[in-house]
Amino acid sequence: MTTTHRATDTLTRDALAVLQPTFAGTTEAPAWLLRQLENGMTGVGLFGRNVQSTAQLAALTAQLRAANPEVLVATDEEAGDVTRLELIGGSSFPGNLALGAADDLDLTREVATAIGHRLTEAGVTVNWAPSADINTDPGNPVIGVRSFGQDPDLVARHTVAFVEGLQSTGVAACVKHFPGHGNTSVDSHLALPRIDIDLDTLHSRELVPFKAAVAAGTRCVMSAHILLPVLDPDRPGTLSSSVLTGLLRAPEADGGLGFDGVIYSDAIEMKAIEAVHGLARGCALAVAAGADAICVGGTPSDEDEVLTLRDAIIQAVRDGDLSEERLHDAAERVRALGRWTATARTAATTTPGAPARDIGLAAARRALRVTRQPGAAPYTPPARPPYVASFHPVANIAVGHHTPWGVATELERLLPGTRSAEHTADRAGAVGPAGLAARILAEAGEQPVVAVVRDAHRHPWMADTVTALLAARPDTVVVEMGVPASSPTGALHIATHGAARVCGRAAAEIIAGVPAGEDRDQ
């Protein structure tokens, strides 16, 4: 049961201001959302379910700005595997690992600038990106190709380049997931990860990219739902004042990062928080710990939920669990960011647009790593259209299940007659890797085989099936579209460092023998 509060009440408006909900799969703003924006709510999160086209999204965000001219419209357009603007067709830009593999700061900055221009055109003002996590655990199920790499300095310099490019377009960057989600084998969407490292390691590794991003002027930082006992043995980062206030906010002279911008929480309904503390209490604890904007993320909200969370924050103030000063400080930080984005958006409309050339495809081509086996004959494109066997892992929640990936679509365009099929762990479990390989070979017949995997090192069924395929057909081409942690195999091995649409196209060009830049539409 929600409580009635006057919309002019400062406490009520502050409680609404820190909430950043999402809404159901409608492509227009619901009436309740516009009403609460008028009542003091400051921000909205958008997901792929809210996007049909740039024009449609621009119309939706115009509705939001009509209700609150300084509204924060946020999404996580990381590009690569995590895209909201291009959920249905796949991203026009490779993700972080591909940019790290290319290791060209100007290229990363240019890609981020192009992404920023697309967001600006659609009316989005905050991008929950880039990921500044260092992917030190190869078994990481949720970061992987979303990281620029494993080296702290490389991740730091590309994080800075991304922030600079994005914010040059008037879109606020939100560097995530503080203080680092890379050294875990647990997905915080599903459970609470624990990272047991000492302070020296934390400062010399995990925090390096975040320190660089803060120094570069990132407007926002997003917290991680991870437990670091060296900082707080009881509460995850999002709910820990030691992490958010004692480390991220604290002055550099006191061992902190001296960050003065907006701290977003990661999606508060993720199981690492909700399953332990509940949604309402989680919101209040996060603000008390130092978070300013509470992302009520992937699960759509409605008005009843927003008002319930508002009332829980107000009650926490009245119970003494959250100071009114801390809540007001959070609300004022969020409002200040809204003012910055409104001004920056106006300035961005007077600057030149995104580069005319296809920077995303150019970056994907630069990221490819092609390996031929020692002593193998030079690779020649297939004399007949191939059969593409795509091995599909279970997608993590950040990526989702709807965005297409692979090389089959692009190969069908370049080599008409290409056939393809998808294969899963369940199928491998039913017949065994050798049995699955036999089925693939039977389906392929005389056609050359292209095996497409994603993080084969994390999925033994994939690796074992590919081994069986190669034993029977050594000329099989292997394309790794995840983290290339396994040794290259196949007559030709192509590591794309990500599964974006442009990564698939770049790999297909190599397989088909099409020179980069030649567009062979048929």
Question: Which residues form the catalytic set?
Answer: 189, 266
Beta pairing partners, 264:
222, 293
232 and 226 in contact (C-beta within 8 Å)?
no
**Other beta carbons within 10 Å of 254:** 10
Q: Map residue 498 onto helix, strand or coil.
A: coil
Q: Map residue 478 onto helix, strand or coil.
A: strand
AA letter at 18: V
CA distance 4 to 59: 32
For 423, half-sphere exposure in the C-beta direction (CA atoms, 13 angstrom radius) is 32
Give which of 477, 449, 442 is closest to 384, Cα–Cα: 449
Angle between helices 105-122 and 359-367 (to 10 degrees): 140
SS (H, E, C) 17-29: HCEEEEECCCCCC
List, in order, residues 6 or more apart from 295 with CB less than 8 Å away: 20, 45, 74, 128, 222, 264, 265, 266, 267, 268
Q: Tokens 């539409």 identify what position?
A: 521
CA distance 11 to 15: 6
From first CA to last CA, the distance across the chain in angstroms is: 60
Q: Map residue 149 onto helix, strand or coil.
A: coil
CA distance 369 to 225: 34
CA distance 395 to 392: 8
List, in order, residues 6 or more apart from 448 with CB less than 8 Å away: 382, 384, 386, 387, 475, 476, 477
Mode of pairing for the β-strands spanning 369-372 and 492-495:
antiparallel
Sheet containing strand 72-75, edge to edge, reads 43-45, 72-75, 126-127, 172-178, 220-223, 262-264
CA distance 96 to 81: 9
Annotate 10-36 with b (16+ C-beta within 10 A) or e (fewer). Answer: ebbbbbbbbbbbbbeeeeebeebbbeb
423 and 391 in contact (C-beta within 8 Å)?
yes
